[in-house]
Amino acid sequence: MSKLKLGVIGAGRIGKVHIATLVQSVPETEVVALADVNIDGAQQLAAQYGISFVSSDYREIIKHPDVEAVVICSPTDTHARYIVEAAQAGKHIFCEKPVDLSIDVIKNAIAEVKKAGVKLMVGFNRRFDPNFRKVHDMVASGKIGEPSILKITSRDPNPPSPQYIAVSGGMFLDMTIHDFDMARYIAGSEITEVYVKAAVLVDKAIGEAGDVDTAIITLTFANGAIGVIDNSRKAVYGYDQRLEIFGTKGMVTADNNFPDNHRYFTDDGIHGALPLNFFMDRYLDAYSTELKLFCDAIVHDKPVPVGGEDGLMSVAIGLAAKKSVAEGRPVKISEILA
Amino acid sequence: MSKLKLGVIGAGRIGKVHIATLVQSVPETEVVALADVNIDGAQQLAAQYGISFVSSDYREIIKHPDVEAVVICSPTDTHARYIVEAAQAGKHIFCEKPVDLSIDVIKNAIAEVKKAGVKLMVGFNRRFDPNFRKVHDMVASGKIGEPSILKITSRDPNPPSPQYIAVSGGMFLDMTIHDFDMARYIAGSEITEVYVKAAVLVDKAIGEAGDVDTAIITLTFANGAIGVIDNSRKAVYGYDQRLEIFGTKGMVTADNNFPDNHRYFTDDGIHGALPLNFFMDRYLDAYSTELKLFCDAIVHDKPVPVGGEDGLMSVAIGLAAKKSVAEGRPVKISEILA
Amino acid sequence: MSKLKLGVIGAGRIGKVHIATLVQSVPETEVVALADVNIDGAQQLAAQYGISFVSSDYREIIKHPDVEAVVICSPTDTHARYIVEAAQAGKHIFCEKPVDLSIDVIKNAIAEVKKAGVKLMVGFNRRFDPNFRKVHDMVASGKIGEPSILKITSRDPNPPSPQYIAVSGGMFLDMTIHDFDMARYIAGSEITEVYVKAAVLVDKAIGEAGDVDTAIITLTFANGAIGVIDNSRKAVYGYDQRLEIFGTKGMVTADNNFPDNHRYFTDDGIHGALPLNFFMDRYLDAYSTELKLFCDAIVHDKPVPVGGEDGLMSVAIGLAAKKSVAEGRPVKISEILA
Amino acid sequence: MSKLKLGVIGAGRIGKVHIATLVQSVPETEVVALADVNIDGAQQLAAQYGISFVSSDYREIIKHPDVEAVVICSPTDTHARYIVEAAQAGKHIFCEKPVDLSIDVIKNAIAEVKKAGVKLMVGFNRRFDPNFRKVHDMVASGKIGEPSILKITSRDPNPPSPQYIAVSGGMFLDMTIHDFDMARYIAGSEITEVYVKAAVLVDKAIGEAGDVDTAIITLTFANGAIGVIDNSRKAVYGYDQRLEIFGTKGMVTADNNFPDNHRYFTDDGIHGALPLNFFMDRYLDAYSTELKLFCDAIVHDKPVPVGGEDGLMSVAIGLAAKKSVAEGRPVKISEILA
């Protein structure tokens, strides 16, 4: 059987991760083309992983006759455009989140994808974390009865730079967007309303840049459940990613992952390791599983596990969250989608 | 040194607990008088614990010349009246929560207590739970830096009867009131605003009685921190009482207590005991410590650890929570206290 | 119903614990008499707990016409003698462990008890710890199938003084004796052989006093299971009392108890409290349950849960352990009992 | 820099694991040759991983001019012979454990390796498990003071077939050999004596084949510490690999690894996943790290982390364990090595 041929657009941090995964862990695929505006970096990466075609122009990847699917790892403001062009060229698409920060732009991209009949998967990698996946599967199979309360804790080890924050779209579209997707995934139901209480408690510079760094976000789900996300841009003890879902027949929780499970007993207490501190470490398996499932969906013509509508919804919820902070009231998602 | 002489009003469930604690674990006190409208039950209890004076009339306890302090365990709607009368009689007062469901009535009771110069302690027993106390002490001593996010989970094993719910004042004044007090205690700061998303997910009859059984409550603190309480009237796995507080220098958490710490490994998983299921079991130590500290405050003329203002604030927050549900918006505590 | 009348012999540390338990937590009994060679201390204790009769002569307790049962808390070398005299006086007996350090003396005491038809319970309090009791009950009800491997960890926070060690009978008869009893209790089978590897790793003075302070003790059970106890006289992190039992259908474990369950997350790791450091704290419930069951056995004429034979066996195993160290070989318990 | 060229001998289960690791995770090496008596299987594997030279004759690997180092994954009875031949051909050697079951044969192989000046690493992969490595590093850096007690639990999920057991050399040389190496590694000291209490509690057929399936093994270390290993061929709850080391200043423990960290709360208890059940899963990282370090030692001419003497010692201890069971007494390792 011939291998699925992929082209990657963007050779930055996440592009490198995806290429390494595809080459080392997805034997049924082949990365045949790579584009980055930084052509030197792209050529070096191509040499390391045996990628034959390199360009500084993403269009050459999309148009490359061997390329069956593109993996879009370029900056956010290019995502929707590349999706549209790839769809029009008949290529399947894996795109990093978020698709865009504008609802209309995302809707248009989804429409083009549908018209072209190609597959579009959005990179919500955390859905493929073994802990969260286990919780999802247990909820989906009825182990907790009807979901009542969902709680997600999501805290970063360190805030991004003020420069990054200025262009990020704000915490809700940059960081919490993952949690919005996770909430929909775990609860198995759409979010219909959000109320956000936010604060600047990590760094005043973040507030001066017009963003917040700490938040408690109340969620209402279509199935009647309610939920809460708590966020901070800085947890001194590291990357904190936990959740619990409570229902009429029980509760399931997922905890952080750790570099090792040693415990150290001294006259001063019992001590253990901090959580894996870097999202690449925590979600290493998730990144790999995500791309395997994307390739598998193409090769066996199955639905992708996270589609364009999922990309749309998380951005809509993020925009509702911003509005909630601005107006100090609960905001319905339908206000944003209308 | 002569013993502190106490009179107990109310010989129901909590009255029995307090009498047993005083007799068995607070050697520097003596229960000399007991009143209950059910005079037979009171006499039986008095015989069991060697209490010499029994009456069906609470006024005989308050006026009893030997009684130096009263412990009020009667129904909520009598609390404020008994406090006022006891204060006017110059007796120190321990009163079960809530003081009353009306802000004005509570304010009046506090005023009378102040005028009389007696001590009033309100029975927020959970402050004396070893786990929560440890968290409080660590926060108060600066171990987590500035508090940023407080999270309290408080779920009951089973809802009360519809009859009880009808007269309870609703979940926020009956159950969450403990969590409001805990939030103020742990965060070390006043709550200034609440927003509540509530639902009826446990039993429709609760909704029909005009109450809710599930809630996510966002808290704003005067010191800038934010917080969230999640409540359910029914957790199938038992009484669930946990909290965590996250700050600029670290986080502290407290978990449930368990009847034993066995773990059972089978071909089906690793299994452990459920949390202590009954609030009397979970907070046994807390009930005992609470009364010891009340007696200690009188004997050594020290401030009581939980005063009338604490009783006032939790009711105000509870009323704000009800208003938030009714009006679907965040409510400032100052709106209630004004 | 009239209360069971008890006389206590010995008002040292453990005597005080037992008196407090009986007075505060066993309402169906009454402590009516107390003896200690230190008459002043005994009188003070009697005043505190309302004990009417005090003497410096234990015989006055045994002969006291009101005393139905004696609680022997005097030094080890008096235990067997007091048991014999109490039995001959027709009194039921609770005796602290060990009964004696001589097999013949213990056998004689047991014979006298049988002749008199009174009850004798030996104070192996740890059997009544909720964690160990849960493990025992699960094993006894077949939850792990056939027991295969039993592991007990038992380490003290600090070694006793050299003076105490000199008269203690050595670590195996003073400290490990509890673990020998626990092993028999948990495995539900007799120990038939021991092999001990011992060392002096805590304090050379202990070695110079002819004792050891660290040991690994292999156990053979009559039912085919095997086991191991590890001991140290000094664990810097506190009192360490854990066990696990592994069988053909599963495993059950029991852990230490802790003063609280807080966890503290900093940039330096995750930290928790040390185990309860003092045996009185760890086994507080156990001491109380033990005496309740003794009194219950008398009042309702049921068998005591730990009898004279249990006292005999643990001493026999302790003596076998000493012989194993001395001779560097496995020693059968039958060699000692013969 | 040119890549290190490796030849693999043996394409069975462990051979496949090593080839996958080398190809996917050790980019500075290249597998250029593969031998297996099953030439068809070898050719298939070679095609999958792009290995250019395949043979049914291991000698063609050893003699292959491009091969700089061999990875020996063939049956145990060939190990020593292949080591000797590879050493004589000037090739570096990675060899699966055990080197051989005869002390003299191992000594001879080590002598040939030394004469040839090549590197020999023995595949004690568990040393590279992140949990055990963390414990080792903490002990080595003095975090627990002087080691006093080492405890290793090592239990398999299922016994091997009776046919395998018949040729395995027995449990101590087949299974416990890993634990002997781990004990030396963690304690940082040689084992000088063993005493074993063994039993047949899993399957009578194992006993009939002349082997045991359950054991408690007491260890004496040169540095004065003592230790214990407990083994079972069958733990119904899965692969159980834990250890703890207790010293004068503290204790460190390592636990099992789990497929996920979910916890499930029902009215029946709190439930979690079983440990990773297969040694390949538990020690996946360890297998990878092990080969990286072997290659690294060759490329940068550093000592290998586990040498021939380590292979010799674990077999010697295994033989001493067998002798201890046969003779019912502690056996010194020097009796075996003499």
A128-153 average pLDDT score: 98
Q: Considering only alpha carbons, which residue of chain A is nearest residue B201?
A: A148
Query: pLDDT at residue A158 above 80?
Result: yes
- 3-state DSSP call for residue A124? coil
CB-CB neighbors (< 8 A) of D274 in chain B: 265, 267, 269-270
Q: Considering only alpha carbons, which residue of chain D is nearest residue C246?
A: D235
Q: What is the pLDDT of residue D259?
A: 95
Cα C210 from Cα C274, distance rounded (Å): 31
CB-CB neighbors (< 8 A) of C328 in chain D: 330
- Three state DSSP letters for D182-221: HHHHHHCCCEEEEEEEEECCCCHHHHHCCCCCEEEEEEEE
Inter-chain CB pairs, C–D, below 8 Å: 101
Question: Taking CB atoms and an 8 Å limit, are C272 and A270 in contact across chains?
Answer: yes
B9/chain D closest Cα distance in angstroms: 37
What percent of chain C stands above pLDDT 70?
100
Q: What average pLDDT is seen over chain B? A: 96
Q: What average pLDDT is seen over chain A? A: 96
CB-CB neighbors (< 8 A) of D25 in chain A: 24
A158/chain C closest Cα distance in angstroms: 12
Label residue D2 by pLDDT band (50, 70, 90). Answer: confident
Report chain A residues touching chain C, CB-CB < 8 A.
235-238, 265-267, 269-274
Would you say C185 and C136 are in contact if contact means Cβ atoms under 8 Å apart? yes
A107-136 average pLDDT score: 98
Q: Considering only alpha carbons, which residue of chain B is nearest residue A201?
A: B148
Give residue for tokens 């508090």: B147
Query: pLDDT at residue A107 above 80?
Result: yes
Report chain C residues touching chain D, CB-CB < 8 A.
146, 148-149, 151, 153, 155, 195, 197-199, 201-202, 214-216, 218, 220, 224-228, 230, 232, 234-237, 246, 248-251, 328-330
Lowest mean pLDDT among B46-50, B93-97, D8-12: B46-50
- Spatial neighbors of C95 by CB under 8 A, at least 6 apart, are C72, C79, C82, C83, C120, C121, C122, C123, C311
Strands A120-122 and A92-95: parallel
Cα A306 from Cα A93, distance rounded (Å): 12
Q: What is the pLDDT of residue B1?
A: 53
Q: What is the pLDDT of residue C22?
A: 92
Within 10 angstroms of residue A123's Cβ, the number of other Cβ atoms is 23
Neighbouring C-alpha atoms within 13 Å toward the C-beta of D14: 21
CB-CB neighbors (< 8 A) of D155 in chain C: 246
Report chain B residues touching chain A, CB-CB < 8 A.
146, 148-149, 151, 153, 155, 195, 197-199, 201-202, 214-216, 218, 220, 224-228, 230, 232, 234-237, 246, 248-251, 328-330
Neighbouring C-alpha atoms within 13 Å toward the C-beta of C234: 23
Nearest to A249 among B199, B225, B236 (CB): B236
B142/chain A closest Cα distance in angstroms: 15
Question: Taking CB atoms and an 8 Å limit, are B273 and D270 in contact across chains?
Answer: yes
Tens-digit pLDDT profile for residues D280-318:
889 988 999 999 999 999 999 999 999 999 999 999 999
D145-161 average pLDDT score: 97
Q: What is the pLDDT of residue C1?
A: 53
Question: Taking CB atoms and an 8 Å limit, are D236 and B266 in contact across chains?
Answer: yes
CB-CB neighbors (< 8 A) of C237 in chain A: 265-267, 269-270
pTM of the model: 0.95
- Spatial neighbors of A302 by CB under 8 A, at least 6 apart, are A296
Report chain B residues touching chain D, CB-CB < 8 A.
235-238, 265-267, 269-274
Cα B325 from Cα B327, distance rounded (Å): 6
Tens-digit pLDDT profile for residues C44-76:
999 988 899 999 999 999 999 999 999 999 999
B255/chain C closest Cα distance in angstroms: 6
Complex ipTM value: 0.95
Query: pLDDT at residue D1 above 60?
Result: no
Question: Taking CB atoms and an 8 Å limit, are D271 and B274 in contact across chains?
Answer: no
Inter-chain CB pairs, B–C, below 8 Å: 73
Query: pLDDT at residue B169 above 80?
Result: yes
Tens-digit pLDDT profile for residues C276-285:
988 888 998 8
D270/chain B closest Cα distance in angstroms: 5
CB-CB neighbors (< 8 A) of C259 in chain B: 130, 134
Report chain C residues touching chain B, CB-CB < 8 A.
24-25, 130-131, 133-135, 138, 143, 249-257, 259-267, 273
- Spatial neighbors of C319 by CB under 8 A, at least 6 apart, are C101, C103, C172, C173, C336
Strands D92-95 and B147-155: unpaired
Cα A123 from Cα A290, distance rounded (Å): 8
Q: Which two tokens stand for residue D56?
A: 């049914």
Instruction: Give me the amino acid identity at C24.
Output: Q
CB-CB neighbors (< 8 A) of B274 in chain D: 265, 267, 269-270
Question: Taking CB atoms and an 8 Å limit, are C195 and D199 in contact across chains?
Answer: no
For residues D106-138, b (16+ Cβ closer than 10 Å) or e, as one string?
bbebbebbeebebbbbbbbbbbbbbbbbbbbeb
- Spatial neighbors of C300 by CB under 8 A, at least 6 apart, are none
What are the phi and psi torsion angles at C274 (to 5°)? -75, 160
**Chain C contact probe: residue of A158, A256, A265, A268 with most C CBs at under 10 A:** A265
- CA C217 vs CA C154, C230, C321: distances in Å: 11, 6, 8
Inter-chain CB pairs, A–D, below 8 Å: 73
Q: What is the pLDDT of residue A1?
A: 53
Within 10 angstroms of residue D301's Cβ, the number of other Cβ atoms is 8
B236/chain A closest Cα distance in angstroms: 6
Q: What is the pLDDT of residue B65?
A: 97
CB-CB neighbors (< 8 A) of A265 in chain C: 235-237, 274
- 3-state DSSP call for residue B178? helix
CB-CB neighbors (< 8 A) of B272 in chain D: 269-271
Label residue C315 by pLDDT band (50, 70, 90). Answer: very high
Tens-digit pLDDT profile for residues D57-100:
999 999 999 999 999 999 999 999 999 999 999 999 999 999 99
Q: What is the pLDDT of residue D73?
A: 97
Query: pLDDT at residue B285 above 70?
Result: yes
Q: Considering only alpha carbons, which residue of chain D is nearest residue C325?
A: D330
Peptide bond preceding D275 in cis form (omega within 30 of 0): no
CB-CB neighbors (< 8 A) of C253 in chain B: 262-263, 265
| Helix (H) / strand (E) containing D263 | strand D263-266
C83-96 average pLDDT score: 98
Nearest to A250 among B201, B237, B329 (CB): B237
Q: What is the pLDDT of residue A174?
A: 94
